[in-house]
Amino acid sequence: MTTTNAIALPEPVIRRGIAESAWRTLTMALYPGAKKESVLLAWDYCKSRRLDPLKRPVHILAIEIKVGNTYEWRDTIVPGITELRITAQRTGEYRGFDGPAVYGPDEPFAGVVAPVWCDVTVLRGAPGVPPYDRFPVRVYFREVVATKACGAANARWTRAPRQMLEKCAEAAALRRAFPDEIGSDHAFEELDGQRAIDAVPAVDVPTLPKPSGFDLWLDGLQAAADGGDGVLSAYWQASKPEHRAYLIAIDPDGYDALVARAHAVGVVPPEPDDEPGDVA
């Protein structure tokens, strides 16, 4: 007979009446790596909004806030696009979309080829009493895409740029159609550029000091990527070793993302003499 080892539930968990199976699911499957107090915060949020925590309608998001002269990471609870849909549905006046999302032309930006914009129109009105009120929204890719330090789109936006763009447009349309019910809540999908600790492990902040002129150099590197591989390679070769070393320390995949961005321009140059990780 197979048995499951019991775990000692913290007192706050017992006080809330959370079953051991639910606590296991929350901490090991839905929010792995998150602080226990942050998981409890997500549970409290869901219960106050009459949401099922095990369907993960909310996410735990780490945001950096300024405290005095320093910055600290603190967890906050952010609704997902699912919660915005639920809130709209509960009004009894959500009539869905006025047709499928409409996309603009594809163009390269931030290392990916994606639609320039996306249009979504949400309908609101009493059931069975058309015509319904229309709430159209257009969202531009370059204004919402989540990027890394090097300016390239992050992994999720690189993998599914159209899907992420449509979710951002849908969230904006739902806010416009249901301002009293949703307010100014932004969906997790719109804040994907932040460190989402329920999806990505925390990364230690590098101790390497930031070299003088790095920000200006990085702006030039990003501009070089938009000029194609030849321009990017030449700029990289002419860069100061400390600038290259610092970029690799804070964003190991940054240069590779810029290479992909340069390839999207469509100009194929000779390969650089050394690898991005080689510092003279």
Q: Indicate if 180 and 97 belong to the same structural domain.
A: yes
Q: Is residue 209 part of a domain?
A: no
Q: Is residue 230 part of a domain?
A: yes
Selection from 48-57, 71-80, 251-260 with the highest mean pLDDT: 48-57
Q: Is residue 159 part of a domain?
A: yes
pLDDT in tens, 92-103: 999 999 999 999
Q: Is residue 204 part of a domain?
A: no
* Domain enclosing residue 224, as ranges: 214-265
pLDDT in tens, 187-220: 888 886 544 444 443 344 445 688 889 889 888 8
Residue 32 · residue 199 · CB < 8 Å: no
CA–CA separation, 31 and 164 (whole Å): 21
Backbone angles phi, psi at 62, to 5 degrees: -90, 125
H or E element: which one contains 47? helix 36-48
Mean pLDDT of 223-231: 85
Q: Indicate if 57 and 136 belong to the same structural domain.
A: no
Mean pLDDT of 128-134: 91
Domain boundary among 77, 98, 129: 77
Q: Is residue 277 part of a domain?
A: no
Residue 170 · residue 189 · CB < 8 Å: no
Domains contained in the chain, number: 3
Structure tokens of 130? 């058309």
pLDDT in tens, 140-168: 999 999 888 788 898 889 999 999 999 99
Going from the C-alpha of 162 to that of each of 33, 103, 105, 267, the distances in angstroms are 29, 8, 11, 24
Q: Indicate if 153 and 60 belong to the same structural domain.
A: no
Q: Is residue 130 part of a domain?
A: yes
Q: Indicate if 119 and 142 belong to the same structural domain.
A: yes
Q: Is residue 117 part of a domain?
A: yes
Q: 25-39, 194-208, 238-252, 255-269: which range is least confident on average?
A: 194-208
- Angle, in degrees to the nearest 10, between helices 254-265 and 229-237: 140
